[in-house]
Structure 1
Amino acid sequence: MSSKFDPVTLEARGAAAIEIARRVGREAARFRAEMGPRLNVENKGLQDFVTIADRNAEQTIYKELLSLFPHDTFVGEETGGKAGAAGAWIVDPIDGTTNYIRGFSHWGVSIAFCFEGRVELGVVYDAAKDSVVSAIRGRGAFREGVSLQAAATVDPTNAICVLGHSRKTSFDEHLVLLNRLHERGMDYRRMGAAAIDLVRVAEGASDLFYERHLNAWDMLAGALIASEAGAIVAMPKLTQLLSEGGPVVAYSPGLAPEFDFILEIGGLKSV
């Protein structure tokens, strides 16, 4: 990290983000349970939804983080914004909104803090486990204080892979990847919330997450958490992700010979 940035204030940001993510996540879960099918859902595009819960969560995160750290900047999925030189919060208030709407608990709150082109802090509220996963660069990944470690899998026939697919990318390419995994004896899932998918790699529940195109707020917190847990992680530079999105891959290090080809098809280098 740059010497211009005080590590103590990074710890303060981490503590604040953890508390805010937990509270906002639990409030969103409570709201979903109370509203049920009466959720006010807007359609932003094909299979791209937003609810009042998303908007309220982002507003809360914005107000509370910027009240504590007024010189920071903020980029949110719902309200936009622009990252500044002083440091930026990159936030997805509910990652996996479609899952949230339907009552499938694979969704979360994703908060990343970036400084000078790098992700320095990642925090994800995991709704399925009602807990917060976090990482500060260089200090490991943790779920509520318990250290996380990527899986030690080395046999591809024991691997579980989680894949995402964006309608902005080729479905034929997605099918080619599925076929390759199938031929190597691997099992796979599509769960629909990248931040949580990356956390599953970090905690060793899955051995791979890959999606050809995501927005920065979908991946940054989870990617740092996976990397700090020992997974191999690759994604484009932060400036590209903030302007146009891009691919991300995270996988168990013992399966690198099986998954390194994804770096090539995604045009990626590991971080």
Structure 2
Amino acid sequence: MNAAFDTAAIRARAEAAKTIALEVGREAARFRRESDPGTLAVQSKGLQDFVTIADSRAEQAIRHGLISRFPDDTFMGEESGEESRGQSDGAGTWVVDPIDGTTNYIRGFRYWAVSIAFVVGDKVEIGVVYDAAEDKVFHAVRGGGAFKDGLPIHTATTVDPANALIILGHSRKTSFDEYLALSKRLHERGMDYRRTGAAAIDLVRIAEGAADLYYERHLNAWDMLAGALIAEEAGATVAMPPVETLLAQGGPIIAQAPGLADEFAFILDIEGLAG
């Protein structure tokens, strides 16, 4: 760990992030319940990618909550981009998606999340995800295990592919034909699969053992970093490009229950993440 961030400093940030994620997530849920759905979409950033009033409000609240407590940290949000605050080379960076699963949120499909990660150098040190469907907060601090509302969680112990439940994400930046081919291959192996449209939720489902594999060919850093750490700390095998690469351009992620690692090795080969 960077010398500027001892255990106490990391723990303080984790506690703050948990509190803020819960408050902001509940406020976003309240706003959704009380608003006319037709007023939520303010402008389009492209297919299935909408900026909403709730997104902007949530990110502002998260940024204020974190930076007011830790003014030397830097902040990268999905809506605002990177905002440079800290002047030290050792500054940590908050990487935030205020509402992961915006389309779900707009339509009233409850699979959306608030995702907050804290990165120091090339490591994600803190991951916090508010799960709107369950009104629960998942969190992890590197080396300290993974938790759901303060209770330890662990990945599934599945070893038989026929009993596996898979979550597949799909980005329009990648080939739909390849997505279909992978779905067919998994189906032929007797596996069932889902697509929810919120990466942070998918990753915490791996962490708590509700599913056995999550794979998506392209995500942005703010979609995946918090959930990836939580899954890893819960015992999942997680493969993704270096954090620096993800912060610059995004990339693929694979998170899987360790008992099925051999079954899904071919996906690592597809993405060049094997070994």
Aligned partner of 2:185 in structure 1 is 180
Cα displacement (A) at 1:4 = 3.7
What is the CA deviation profile of residues 2-51 of structure 1, one whole-angstrom value per residue up to 9, with x for unaligned ones?
A: 33421101000000000000000000000000014233302110111121
TM-score between both structures, scaled by the size of structure 1: 0.97
RMSD: 1.2
> Taking structure 1 as reference, are residues 113 and 269 closer, same or farther at Cα in structure 2, changes over 3 Å only?
farther
The aligned amino acid for 1:235 is M
Q: Does 1:247 align with 2:248?
A: no
What is the CA deviation profile of residues 31-75 of structure 1, one whole-angstrom value per residue up to 9, with x for unaligned ones?
A: 000014233302110111121000000001001100100000000
What is the CA deviation profile of residues 76-109 of structure 1, one whole-angstrom value per residue up to 9, with x for unaligned ones?
A: 0000015764100000000000000111110000
Equivalent pairs: percent with the same residue? Answer: 65
Q: Does 1:222 align with 2:227?
A: yes
SS of match in other structure, 1:173: helix
Aligned partner of 1:14 in structure 2 is 14
Which contiguous aligned blocks of 4+ residues in structure 1 show a shift greater than 4 angstroms? none
The aligned amino acid for 2:100 is D
The aligned amino acid for 2:206 is V
Query: Structure 1: how far apart are the matches of 2:265 and 2:228?
Result: 17
Aligned partner of 2:28 in structure 1 is 28
* Among candidates 264, 272, 275, match of residue 267 of structure 1: 272
Query: Structure 2: how far apart are the matches of 1:248 and 1:126?
Result: 20
Query: Structure 2: how far apart are the matches of 1:88 and 1:267?
Result: 27
SS of match in other structure, 1:110: strand
Unaligned runs of 5+ in 1: none
Aligned partner of 1:107 in structure 2 is 112
Moved more, 165-174 or 79-88: 79-88
Query: Structure 2: how far apart are the matches of 1:106 and 1:40?
Result: 17
Query: Structure 2: how far apart are the matches of 1:39 and 1:130?
Result: 24
**Pairing 1:65-76 to 2, within 5 Å after superposition:** 65-76=66-77
Query: Structure 2: how far apart are the matches of 1:56 and 1:30?
Result: 13
TM-score between both structures, scaled by the size of structure 2: 0.96
Q: Does 1:55 align with 2:56?
A: yes
Moved more, 237-246 or 39-48: 39-48
**Pairing 1:189-200 to 2, within 5 Å after superposition:** 189-200=194-205
Aligned partner of 1:2 in structure 2 is 2
Q: Does 1:132 align with 2:133?
A: no
The aligned amino acid for 2:67 is L
Unaligned runs of 5+ in 2: none
**Contact 1:32–1:39 under 8 Å retained in 2:** no
**Pairing 1:146-165 to 2, within 5 Å after superposition:** 146-165=151-170
